[in-house]
Amino acid sequence: MVGIPVTDLSRGRRSIALLALLALGACAVTLVGGMVASLAYTSWEPAVRRSGLTLQHLRPIHESFAFAWVFLGGIAVVHAWLISLGGPLAGAERLRFRAMIALWCTAGAGILVSLLAGRFTGREYAGYHPAFGAMILGGWGLFAWNFFARAGFSLRGKPVYVWMWSAAIPLFVITFLEANAYTLDWVSRRPLRDIAIQWKSNGVMVGCFNLLAYGSILWVSGVMRGDDRYSRSATGFLLFSVGIINTFTNYGHHTFHLPQTPWVHWVSFLVSMLEVVILAKVMLDLWNLRRRGTPAEGLALPARFGASVTLWTFLMLATAIAMSVPPVNSLIHGTHIVTAHAMGTMIGIDSMILWCALSWIAGGFAGPGSAAARRPLARHAVTVLDISLFAFLALFAVRGAAAGLARQLGPSAPDLSVFVARFPGLMVATGWTLAASALWLISGWALVFARVLRSGPVAPGPGAPDPAPVEGARRLPA
């Protein structure tokens, strides 16, 4: 076994807890916003409208805070790694951290209030005013400063999760600027260019938070096992290479319908097919999962989330590969199938990864005897999450198939009108079950992190990093 030298996370518990609370708050807004938005498709829509809300208000709130949840959750784990190896933030680092939090809190509150007031841009994933985007970008710059001040710019000898985080940070800056390029007349006055840039930026932005999330699960799982070898293996770096290339090209399966140069479509298609490499590895993980023994005491819940991540990665990669085949893409593009895939990856992969990581951190802060660490129903709640998410996505897939077949086959398409009529009610039932289970889980972790902000040092519990002396150096070793 290759040990991982770490310090006690409780040394910087307040910084980690604050970021975790912000992430879980964004997650809660996402879930509640989605629950209310789902009613807009049912007979309850007039009641929602009378409250002053419409789908035009709720959709950008749901999207914006879903992105914020994944980014903030990943950043919380990155800070846990920085603190575990270099000690708590101090001096200028602490000032930059506080300024970062102030900028992001101001932007988050401003986005929520302005969207509820009906001030939206209509852009996908960037429905808020660009001024709030400037605050987000400013806070990101401060985060990047603290990260590279400790981790350094050299990647020689570093585990693959450091490569992932180091790549995600500058990529976010580039793609965030691209996402706001519509504010330039040179882009907004040319619809084809605007659509191409928008989809390209959205694809790379998803790739950025995927890198944050994937790096998080590699580090956390390595610490829980006490073995960092996979993060330094050739397989790990091969998967990173395929992932980083796909980050720049996977948007192409959303632009097959645009009159772009054919090589753009071919490169996107061929690189998407390279995901078979990841798919094969995930299938091996699924096989090994059946042979895995009982997790150590205090790690049952993170291990349960880890099993879900493996399953959903397999399912979502399989659908992503199928969606990248042009004839299939022409059938499903613009239907609920694309929506199902987007939500499936966001919830089944990214959110499950971050729930795994944050449940591990919360359990370590709370200690083995706390109610939060012992919650016996937590693992059952994850099972409910998995089942309800599968049913939720299956409903969207069938609804999308009905629309795609009707568009392609016309009157000869199979009659699915009965299902289409019942879809809204079924969607609300499964979606609300999914959201309620997630809200119950994150509320317990939020209480732990809130107590950390109010209390003194907390003894680490099972699964938390073992204490080790800190030399006082701010730069991390290779």
Q: Does pLDDT of 52 surpass 60?
A: yes
The residue among 336 and 267 whose pLDDT is bigger is 336
Mean pLDDT of 27-51: 92
> What is the predicted pLDDT for the residue at 464?
43
Q: Does pLDDT of 458 surpass 60?
A: no
> What is the predicted pLDDT for the residue at 191?
85
Per-residue buried b or exposed e for 424-444, using 16+ beta carbons within 10 Å of the residue's own CB: bebbbebbbbbbbbbbebbeb
Q: Does pLDDT of 385 surpass 50?
A: yes
The residue among 199 and 115 whose pLDDT is bigger is 115
Measured distance CA(429)–CA(444) in Å, rounded: 23
Q: Does pLDDT of 463 surpass 50?
A: no
Q: Does pLDDT of 100 surpass 60?
A: yes
- Provide the pLDDT confidence category of residue 474 given band limits of 50, 70 and 90: very low
Per-residue buried b or exposed e for 289-309, using 16+ beta carbons within 10 Å of the residue's own CB: eeeeeebeebbbbbbbbbbbb
> What is the predicted pLDDT for the residue at 250?
65
- Provide the pLDDT confidence category of residue 258 given band limits of 50, 70 and 90: low
Give yes or no for a contact between 234 and 277, defined as CB atoms under 8 angstroms apart. Answer: no
Q: Does pLDDT of 372 surpass 70?
A: no
- Provide the pLDDT confidence category of residue 70 given band limits of 50, 70 and 90: very high
- Mean pLDDT (the chain) is 83
Fold of 283-289+298-466: Cytochrome C Oxidase; Chain A (1.20.210)
Q: Does pLDDT of 354 surpass 70?
A: yes
> What is the predicted pLDDT for the residue at 164?
94
Instruction: Determine the distance from the C-alpha atom of residue 336 to the mean position of all C-alpha atoms in its chain, rounded to a whole number.
Output: 20
- Provide the pLDDT confidence category of residue 438 given band limits of 50, 70 and 90: very high
Global pTM reads 0.88
What tokens appear for 281 in the block? 């590895």
pLDDT digits (tens, 9 = 90+) for 213-225: 999 998 998 888 7
Mean pLDDT of 286-291: 59
Q: Does pLDDT of 204 surpass 90?
A: no
Measured distance CA(61)–CA(365) in Å, rounded: 31
Q: Does pLDDT of 457 surpass 60?
A: no
> What is the predicted pLDDT for the residue at 391?
96
Of the candidate ranges 130-144, 294-308, 336-350, the one whose mean pLDDT is the lowest:
294-308
- Provide the pLDDT confidence category of residue 436 given band limits of 50, 70 and 90: very high
The residue among 124 and 32 whose pLDDT is bigger is 32
pLDDT digits (tens, 9 = 90+) for 420-431: 899 999 999 999
% of the chain surpassing 70 pLDDT? 84
Neighbours of 165 (CB within 10 A): 24
DSSP 251: G
Neighbours of 314 (CB within 10 A): 18
Most confident of the following: 291-300, 336-345, 404-413: 336-345
> What is the predicted pLDDT for the residue at 374?
59
Q: Does pLDDT of 286 surpass 60?
A: no
Mean pLDDT of 371-389: 82
Mean pLDDT of 63-70: 95
> What is the predicted pLDDT for the residue at 289?
55
> What is the predicted pLDDT for the residue at 469?
34
Q: Does pLDDT of 369 surpass 70?
A: no
Of the candidate ranges 97-101, 429-433, 444-448, the one whose mean pLDDT is the lowest:
444-448
pLDDT digits (tens, 9 = 90+) for 150-199: 999 999 989 999 999 999 999 999 999 988 888 888 888 888 888 878 87
Measured distance CA(437)–CA(442) in Å, rounded: 9
Q: Does pLDDT of 7 surpass 60?
A: no
Q: Does pLDDT of 432 surpass 70?
A: yes
Measured distance CA(107)–CA(331) in Å, rounded: 39
Measured distance CA(278)–CA(20) in Å, rounded: 29
- Provide the pLDDT confidence category of residue 23 given band limits of 50, 70 and 90: very high
> What is the predicted pLDDT for the residue at 364?
84
Alpha carbon distances (Å) from 53 to 33, 115, 120, 308 = 11, 10, 13, 34
